[in-house]
Chain A
Amino acid sequence: DGGITQSPKYLFRKEGQNVTLSCEQNLNHDAMYWYRQDPGQGLRLIYYSQIVNDFQKGDIAEGYSVSREKKESFPLTVTSAQKNPTAFYLCASSSPGARGTDTQYFGPGTRLTVL
């Protein structure tokens, strides 16, 4: 059945290491997104991609990088330049609706802890 998968659910890394979070969708959605959630805060957009081989920075892109080589996949790399990488990361994809009414569907999230 269709959905968005993120792996792993929990990830631990040492400070200074780059880490890549996986996001795969089989919903045939063109657009994909990465958000970060911190306690007491809403979802903040890191990067989004509306089409293969194209992506745009969101509000908090510094210290992150992405690629979109396939429609189904949108991996996020958290680099050592990201000052506070410990957070809950959410991947989403969106389906175009009538009159621009896209709806986003989310994956289960990855909890990254940097030690």
Chain B
Amino acid sequence: DQQVKQNSPSLSVQEGRISILNCDYTNSMFDYFLWYKKYPAEGPTFLISISSIKDKNEDGRFTVFLNKSAKHLSLHIVPSQPGDSAVYFCAASLWGGNQFYFGTGTSLTVIP
């Protein structure tokens, strides 16, 4: 049973435009969320996180939004760059828990 879902397997965006990656979760007890970026044949690298006490967290070109009532989070990348082309995973965890639940990933292609 997939508790974290990324329903778009792929996304293509023109360079300079905004990329919006979406993630839904089913467990209302999740209260910490992370985004990872992954290149082929490499391990994921941590990008940005948000805890449930916030609805927005920003780090440079990357902003994560959390809508707890909808059990939905999104990652915005502005402006998108070709080097952002990668697979993006969202993940969720319970408060104080060590276990993370990952989505299936969205492959982002930024077209020059």
Question: Chain A residues in contact with chain B, CB under 8 A?
Answer: 4, 6, 9, 31, 33, 35, 40-45, 48, 50, 58, 88, 90-92, 94, 99-109, 111
Contact = CB atoms under 8 A, between A and B. Distances in A.
11 contacts: A33-B100, A42-B2, A42-B6, A45-B100, A48-B98, A100-B95, A101-B49, A103-B49, A104-B91, A109-B43, A111-B41
Contacts of B6: 42
Contact of B44 (A6, A45, A106): A106
B52 to A, nearest CB: 10
Nearest to A92: B43
Given A42-B104, A94-B98, A102 B46 contact: no
B93 to A, nearest CB: 7
A43 B97 CA distance: 17
A108 B43 contact: yes
B46 to A, nearest CB: 6
Residue of A50, A94, A99 most packed against chain B (CB within 10 A): A99
Contacts of B36: 106
B98 A102 contact: yes
B34 A103 contact: yes
B21 to A, nearest CB: 14
B99 interface: yes
Given A105-B46, A106-B44, A109-B43, A43 B102 contact: yes
Nearest to B51: A101
A109 B42 contact: yes
B96 to A, nearest CB: 4
Contacts of B105: 42
A100 B44 contact: no
A99 B44 contact: no
A90 B43 contact: yes
A18 B99 CA distance: 27
A78 to B, nearest CB: 18
B44 A103 contact: no
A56 B89 CA distance: 24
